[in-house]
Amino acid sequence: MNGPTQRAPIGYDSSSANQRLAPPPPGRSKSQRTAHEMKPLAGESGDSSHPASWPFRNLGDAPGWVCSLLVHAALLIILALITVTHQFRDRLPEILAVLGERERAPVAEKLETTFQPIEVAEADSSLESFDAQDLVSSLSLPLPLEETPQEPIRVSTKTDLISLESIPTVGSPEFSGRTGVGKAALIAREGGTPESEAAVALGLQWLANHQNRNGSWSFNHTTRQCRGQCSHPGSLNNCTTGATGLALLCFLGAGHSDQTGEYKRTVFRGLKYLLSQMKSSHRDTGNLMGRTARRGRRGGNEGMYAQGIATLALCEAYNLGHSKFLRKPTQDALNFIIRAQDTSGGGWRYNPGDPGDTSVVGWQVMALYSGRIAEMDVPQQTFDGAWAFLDSVQSDEGVGYGYRRPGATPTLSAVGLLSRMYLGKQHGWDPTNPVVKLGAKRLSVLGPSAKDMYYNYYATQFMYQVGGDTWISWNNELRDQLVAKQDKKGHAAGSWLPTCPHGSRPGGRLYMTAMSILTLEVYYRHLPIYARSGDVPIDGGDRPIDF
């Protein structure tokens, strides 16, 4: 059976198709070989026009042992190359890396010689009066107290440290001082220290560790993983919206939003809890008073406190990130405050429509002011009503304030004075006003309290807004007091032992801790309502919203 036709190999002469390619039979002389079997090499006589390299010129005349030697030598060289390649194969990345560095070095040198530093301050601005490295490091990591300087960081007051209007912001400009370079500049300018920032960081860690599984906080902080390891729990077990709002304000004050920051998940879970507790039925829409007070029946005295605090937290969260999902519930919460205002006296108290008291009014004013900054709808009539209420409880032409009638207690005077600062641009209520100066002088004489954090919280914010020497003196004393009193060991590390009536009974350790953190965040939580004398204008000049 005939097999398939075989194609001639490359180099096979088709004219001799009937011949086999085979070595010549032994015994034949060179002269007897046919021209077909023997082609002349280049350099020899013949018709070939294809030259060959000289090493192979006389290879055909070499003895057999020479050919064998050359073949074996070639094999040895090939084996040696294979061995060397195997040894260096694993080091190839290292070799390439070294070569790459040699190639990149000239480029790096070129960059170093052509790059110009960016100027961020006026030529006469001074950076010599504080240690910038210590300051920046303190913004993210708690510093050991024994390794940090004891003196407050100071900066020349002739010009602002940094032109804050050049700093890119997320959210409202009012909150631009809570992160980054703006935060560092304000801490330095307003009297913060690495110790105070370390205390804030440790306090936030304690709060995060005491957040409940559903995202809330409770004034009775002993639930979840604490299990009573920290003493002095509060008695307000059902006021979770107020406790959650207060804790959230601490994280938001340090620049942690639901979108950015180390504690963004903590903040997100807290906001989610607040929204889950907000009522949405008819006139109850926006109600964040919690389980302690519902429309149609009397509740505890913390209802509108919780509403104001939780609403303030929503406003600040929206101001920081402008999350779309927060806008409507934030407006709803503000609307509830607006509807709950006493229509005759202009104030707020424990339940919607009650004749007001100065303590509850303070939280509502802060929430409404923050809502106006967020460009929410807050009627001017609401602010006018709050101003009228303050008129009804003031004494000494606005220097002192009472609870529900004219008076002058230190705590309520601090609440009234700060509320006037938020509401009073159109009334000429600024640091140059004689009433403001006298109020600051009286608080300065009293000084910070060793026990009453409610007083300290409001008075500190007012003194910060006034600025000047009275603020420097006040801040130095209270800042160091709070840093020294913070627990530094054990499960309670980062918290403060409650010492005032509000803290030791209803609010407990969580209340005391939150109020202390918020007080230590005063340097950057809000920019000054009015630009400091001699400061570079921040975002175009005077800060207040023109009501």
Indicate if the alpha-carbon torsion angle 493, 498, 504, 510 is positive or negative. Answer: negative
Is the pLDDT confidence value at 270 over 70? yes
Q: Quote the tokens at residue 517.
A: 């953190």
Distance CA(44)–CA(528), nearest Å, equals 102
Name the average pLDDT for the chain.
74
Q: Which 3 state secondary structure label does DSSP give 395?
A: strand
Residue 228 binned pLDDT confidence (cut-offs 50, 70, 90): confident
CA-wise closest residue to 153 among 185, 123, 121, 176: 185
Task: For residue 440, give the amino acid letter.
Answer: A
Is the pLDDT confidence value at 544 over 60? no
Is the pLDDT confidence value at 504 over 60? yes
Task: For residue 282, give the amino acid letter.
Answer: H
pLDDT: is 101 or 258 the higher one?
258
Pick the CATH number of 132-525 from 3.10.20.80, 3.60.21.10, 1.10.260.40, 1.50.10.20: 1.50.10.20
| CB 467, CB 201: distance < 8 Å | no
pLDDT > 70 in the chain, percent: 63
Of 224-238, 290-304, 347-361, highest mean pLDDT: 347-361
Cα-flanking dihedrals φ and ψ of residue 475, to 5°? -65, -45
Query: pLDDT at position 109, please?
Result: 33
Indicate if the alpha-carbon torsion angle 520, 523, 528, 531 is positive or negative. Answer: positive
Cα-flanking dihedrals φ and ψ of residue 457, to 5°? -60, -50
Is the pLDDT confidence value at 138 over 50? no
For residue 400, what are the β-bridge partners? 395
Distance CA(463)–CA(362), nearest Å, equals 16
Average pLDDT over residues 146-152: 36
Task: For residue 517, give the amino acid letter.
Answer: I
Is the pLDDT confidence value at 157 over 50? no
CA-wise closest residue to 441 among 476, 470, 400, 412: 470
pLDDT, one tens digit per residue, over 235-251 is 888 899 999 999 999 99
Residue 295 binned pLDDT confidence (cut-offs 50, 70, 90): very low
CA-wise closest residue to 278 among 303, 237, 307: 307
CA-wise closest residue to 332 among 282, 378, 286: 286
pTM of the shown model: 0.68
Distance CA(397)–CA(428), nearest Å, equals 14
3-state helix, strand, coil in the chain (%, to 5): 55, 0, 45
pLDDT, one tens digit per residue, over 370-427 is 999 999 999 999 999 999 999 999 999 999 999 999 999 999 999 999 999 999 888 8
pLDDT: is 140 or 391 the higher one?
391
Which string of DSSP letters, residue by residue, matches 252-290? Answer: HHTT--SSSSTTHHHHHHHHHHHHHH---SGGGTT---G
Q: Which of 88-92, 105-109, 278-282 shows the lowest per-residue confidence on average (mean pLDDT)? A: 105-109
Give the start-to-end residue ranges of the domains of the chain: 132-525
pLDDT, one tens digit per residue, over 40-62 is 334 334 443 444 443 434 445 55
For the chain, what's the residue count? 547
Cα dihedral: 515, 520, 525, 528 (round 10): 120
Residue 444 binned pLDDT confidence (cut-offs 50, 70, 90): very high
Average pLDDT over residues 76-90: 53
CA-wise closest residue to 429 among 102, 313, 437, 367: 437
| CB 377, CB 331: distance < 8 Å | yes
Q: Is 218 exposed, middle or buried (0-12, 13-18, 19+ CB in 10 A)?
A: buried
Distance CA(259)–CA(277), nearest Å, equals 21
What does DSSP assign to residue 323?
-
What is the per-residue burial (b if ≥16 Cβ within 10 Å, else e) of 235-245?
A: ebebbbbbbbb
